[in-house]
Structure 1
Amino acid sequence: MGRLFAVHLEGRVYSCKHCRTHLALCEDIVSKSFQSRHGKAYLFSKVVNVSLGEKEDRNMLTGIHTVADIFCVGCGSIVGWTYETAHEKSQKYKEGKSVIERFKVSGPDGSNYWVSREAHISGSDADDV
């Protein structure tokens, strides 16, 4: 395996809570109203330092979407997913955007989000942006 060259972001950054690799900027948040199986999740217009998993169709709260899990390139932990295709016309705005699960990252102020027992829900996205 070759040497890892990670992108270093300037500004208010979300980073992997395990290895501190930069993942996204606050200014690239499209929505904070998304949900994952583990609680809060944010939709970003752009993410960096991630690798894509296999594409698969998933039945989510807003219908079937073709998604690929995204992994931190620093430590390999799964941090969210990216939308490849939205099958519902009203969900097309998600295509090409990525969701990062809040409990997988450190916030711009260095804070971590801890999952409560009540946060486990079915589905993986939110209806409103």
Structure 2
Amino acid sequence: MGRVFVLTLEGKIYSCKHCGTHLALTDDVVSKSFHSRHGKAYLFSKVVNVTLGEKDERMMMTGSHVVADIFCVQCGSIVGWKYETAREKSQKYKEGKSVLERFKISGPDGSNYWISHGVHIGGSDADDG
């Protein structure tokens, strides 16, 4: 197993819900208006303590993207995905950024997020509306 980074800004850390491994800082949130097939998600400019899965082209709400699932390095849980390539010019800002699904992380205050009922099951992507 690789080295696990410990983020030190108390109260400003998003962690893996399953094992508590630090994943991102609140300062690295780019957008809180993203959606996944399980509910809300956050777009981050930087995440740590994750490994990348295979690259895969996926049709999402905002078009075709090449993405890779991201997994917690400590417990192996899938926690979101990373945008590798965006096909639409207007979506290029997502490239190199990562999405963490809220129900798979603990918030900075230690709270857990849960799947909301009535969630649309379909492609994952930002709510551009």
TM tier, shorter chain?
Answer: over 0.9
Q: Which residue identity is paired with 2:54? A: E
Unaligned runs of 5+ in 1: none
- How is 1:83-122 mapped onto 2 (pairs within 5 angstroms)? 83-122=83-122
What's 1:128 paired with? 128
What displacement does 1:116 show?
A: 2.2
Query: In the alignment, residue 55 of structure 2 is paired with which amino acid?
Result: K
CA distance in 2, matches of 1:4, 1:67: 23
1:2-43: CA deviations, max 9, x gaps? x44200112210000000000000000000000000000000
Give the alignment's TM-score, normalised by structure 2: 0.94
1:121 Cα deviation from its structure 2 partner: 2.9
Could you tell me which residue of structure 2 aligns to residue 75 of structure 1?
A: 75
In the alignment of these two chains, the number of paired residues is: 127
TM-score under structure 1 normalisation? 0.94
Give the 5 Å matches for 1:25-36: 25-36=25-36
Q: Secondary structure at the match of 2:126?
A: coil
Please say if residues 38 and 103 of structure 2, whose CA atoms lie closer than 8 Å, have aligned partners that are also in contact: yes
Partner in structure 2 of residue 7 of structure 1: 5
Q: Tell me, in whole angstroms, the C-alpha distance in 1 between the residues paired with 2:70 and 2:17.
A: 15
- Superposed CA RMSD in Å reads 1.3
Counterpart of 2:31 in structure 1: which amino acid? Answer: S
Structure 1 residue 117: Cα displacement:
2.2
Please, which runs of 5 or more residues in structure 2 have no aligned partner?
none
Deviation at 1:127, TM superposition (A): 4.1
* Residues 42-81 of structure 1 aligned to structure 2 (within 5 Å): 42-81=42-81
Q: Tell whether the 8 Å contact from 2:79 to 2:100 is kept in structure 1 after alignment.
A: yes
Once structures 1 and 2 are overlaid, which stretch shifts more, 4-13 or 16-25?
4-13
Q: Which runs of 4+ in 1 moved over 6 A?
A: none
Distance across 2 between alignment mates of 1:72 and 1:109: 20
Q: Distance in 2 between matches of 1:70 and 1:47?
A: 10
SS of the residue corresponding to residue 3 of structure 2 reads coil
Q: Structure 2 CA distance, aligned partners of 1:4 and 1:31? A: 29
